[in-house]
Amino acid sequence: AQKITQTQPGMFVQEKEAVTLDCTYDTSDPSYGLFWYKQPSSGEMIFLIYQGSYDQQNATEGRYSLNFQKARKSANLVISASQLGDSAMYFCAMREGMDSSYKLIFGSGTRLLVRP
């Protein structure tokens, strides 16, 4: 079974509007972390935001926020006021457990295109 599922291969959004990128995850470990990375066309992986499984509040970083619904096992990324520079691939990733086997499990990604 997929550990991280991103069901939207591609999405369009109008500049200045908000957009939600979906991510659902599957784990039986009570302790885990959820990450979002951005990959522009230049290829590098840029860390955006982190949510821990025990965090009481949804994470926010500037225009990025994470809509964390633990019971539904979803961790959707919300980008407010989209900019042309937001056009990129976005990956959701999960780290399971708190031991030192630090591995990120990635989803297949969502390509976001921002229209002017």
Partner 1 sequence: EAQVTQNPRYLITVTGKKLTVTCSQNMNHEYMSWYRQDPGLGLRQIYYSMNVEVTDKGDVPEGYKVSRKEKRNFPLILESPSPNQTSLYFCASSFETGDDNEQFFGPGTRLTVL
Residue 64 near partner 1 by CB under 8 A: no
Q: For residue 58, what is the DSSP state? A: -
Which of residues 8, 20, 22, 52 is near partner 1 by CB under 8 A? 52
Query: With the C-alpha atoms ordered 60, 66, 70, 71, is the resulting torsion angle positive or negative?
Result: positive
Does 50 bind partner 1 (CB under 8 A)? Our answer is yes
CB of 62 to partner 1, least distance (A): 15
Which C-beta is closer to partner 1: that of 48 or that of 79?
48
Buried b (16+ CB within 10 A) or exposed e, 73-101: ebbbbbbeebeeebbbbbbbbbbbeeeee
100 binds partner 1 (CB under 8 A): yes
What does DSSP assign to residue 70?
A: T
Q: Which residues here bind partner 1, judged by CB under 8 A?
A: 4, 33, 35, 37, 43-45, 47, 50, 52, 91, 93, 98, 100-104, 106-109
